[in-house]
């Protein structure tokens, strides 16, 4: 059975990963949004729900079984606690992703999008890695426009907790520059052509 080429897309907050993925989606490429799936699995995957309750207490969920974000937000402010949560979530997402890839074995290639693709170690299981790059000031501007509830300091803190753009780019097979001076569609189309030939 043929297997699709597995391509990862990552980049810092506000880099425009989702926009790039939408363009690939318009080309008919199957997309796996790991961050959205992780949120979904945190309330639907029985194993993960039990692990989160054990690690962070029963207050992690409300009476309807929804995530108690207020309770978990305290954990998110501590890098050590974030690591603990990621350690629980990433293996469950990896399993979910593997099942998803099997459902798309007719595709030439598939795309996995995640903010922590490199940090979680899952990038090393992919065939190619694309990093979406944009200047920090532009990324900050985009996030504040998209999430008006966030303060500039909050966004700066998120950026500080993420792997630096330089480090991400050093590990990339391909870089898409999304700095509003270069057109992104031709960059995506060039990669689309390459990936179709690779597999």
Domain extent listing, the chain: 1-30+107-199, 35-103
Q: What interhelical angle do 46-56 and 34-44 show, nearest 10?
A: 80
pLDDT surpasses 80 at 76: no
> Are 13 and 135 in contact, with CB atoms under 8 Å apart?
no
pLDDT per residue as tens digits for the range 77-121: 777 888 899 899 999 999 999 999 999 999 999 999 998 899 888
Dig out the tokens for 149 from the structure.
């509830």
Q: What is the CATH number of domain 1-30+107-199?
A: 3.40.50.300
Q: Give the pLDDT band of residue 188 (cuts 50, 70, 90).
A: very high
Q: Which residue, 108, 146, 127, is CA-closest to 9?
A: 127
Q: Give the pLDDT band of residue 1 (cuts 50, 70, 90).
A: low
With the CA atoms of 152, 155, 160 and 164 taken in that order, what torsion angle do they form, in degrees rounded to the nearest 10? -110
pLDDT attached to residue 75: 67
Longest dimension (CA), the chain: 51
């Amino acid at each position: 059975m043929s297997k699709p080429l597995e391509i990862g897309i990552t980049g810092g907050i506000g880099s425009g990963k989702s926009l790039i993925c939408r363009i690939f989606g318009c080309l008919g490429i199957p997309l796996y949004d790991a961050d959205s799936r992780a949120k979904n699995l945190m309330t639907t995957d029985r194993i993960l729900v039990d692990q989160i309750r054990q690690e962070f207490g029963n207050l992690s969920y409300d009476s309807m079984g929804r995530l108690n974000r207020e309770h978990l937000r305290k954990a998110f402010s501590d890098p050590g606690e974030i690591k603990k949560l990621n350690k629980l979530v990433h293996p469950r997402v990896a399993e979910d992703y593997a099942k998803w890839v099997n459902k798309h074995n007719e595709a030439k290639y598939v795309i996995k999008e995640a903010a922590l693709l490199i940090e979680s170690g899952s990038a090393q299981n992919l065939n190619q890695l694309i990093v979406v790059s944009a200047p920090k000031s532009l990324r900050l501007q985009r996030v504040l426009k998209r999430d008006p509830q966030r303060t500039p300091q909050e966004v700066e803190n998120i950026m500080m907790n993420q792997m630096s753009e330089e480090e991400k780019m050093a590990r990339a097979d391909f870089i898409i520059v999304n700095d509003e001076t270069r057109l992104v569609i031709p960059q995506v189309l060039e990669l689309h052509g390459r990936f179709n030939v690779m597999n």
